[in-house]
Amino acid sequence: MADPSGAAPQPGPNDTSTAILRPKKSPNRLIVDEATSDDNSVATLNPATMELLQLFRGDTITVRGKKRRDTVLICLSSDDVEEGRIQVNKVARNNLRVKLGDLVNVHQCLDIKYGKRIH
């Protein structure tokens, strides 16, 4: 809406024209990075990120990528990983349909049962 005084609008914290430039404040959205391990079922996170998401070493997490593709991985911690990033193997990235630098959603998976067979 226009200001009745006729003054030019001042950009502020709630300015909608620059809202797209601000980063999202969702802590469970992480940037995909190259994994150093060859294990297809492991995702590596920074310990500070794990603490923020209330995850522990060995927890199962659901990682959701593009086109609502998701996979279940085991969470490990490493100080080599930057905060806000997740290291995922190439096989898991192909399952999620994501590339390096893409954003994924990470959630804890509480109701997972032990597998009995592999397809």
Q: Are the C-beta atoms of residues 74 and 60 closer than 8 Å to each other?
A: yes
Torsion of Cα atoms, 98 then 102 then 103 then 105, to 10°: 20
Domains defined along the chain, listed by start:
24-108 (2.40.40.20)
How crowded is residue 9: how many other Cβ atoms within 10 Å of its Cβ?
10
State the pTM of this model: 0.74
Confidence check: pLDDT of 1 > 60: no
Q: Are the C-beta atoms of residues 87 and 38 closer than 8 Å to each other?
A: no
The model's confidence at residue 23, banded by pLDDT at 50, 70 and 90, is low
